[in-house]
Amino acid sequence: MHVPVPKRTGPPGHIRNYTFGDVLVRYRTMLGHAVLSPMGFDSFGLPAENAAIKGGEHPRVYTEARIAELKSSIIRLGAVYDWRREVEATTPSTCASTR
């Protein structure tokens, strides 16, 4: 599973890395393999919190906006991630299950 940390607007390295993963998933699928490719967002940690404070927003609001931007970029690229299995570390259900 791919788990970017959404700490700033449009990190080009994320898009590059997820393009490589997407190519691998497509290749394996063309070979007839059953490939599970979910996407998740790790939104806890000091870098994301500091970026939010620097931007003058609450960390949760800031993080959710960055997740939406990154997800939109990945979808526009046409990546084949399974968005039905998306995981966000900020949701209460994820927090409860990981503690």
pLDDT for residue 26: 93
Higher pLDDT, 96 or 65: 65
pLDDT for residue 4: 58
pLDDT for residue 33: 96
Tens digit of pLDDT for each residue in 28-84?
999 999 999 888 877 667 877 888 888 888 888 888 888 888 888 888 888 888 888
pLDDT for residue 1: 46
What's the rounded Cα separation, in Å, for the pair 63 and 29?
32
Higher pLDDT, 8 or 46: 46
pLDDT for residue 66: 84
Tokens 């449009």 sit on residue? 10
Q: At what angle do helices 59-77 and 12-30 cross, to 10 degrees?
A: 50
Lowest mean pLDDT among 12-16, 27-31, 32-36, 90-94: 90-94
pLDDT for residue 31: 97
CA separation, residue 86 to residues 30, 32, 34, 52, 76 (Å): 23, 23, 18, 23, 17
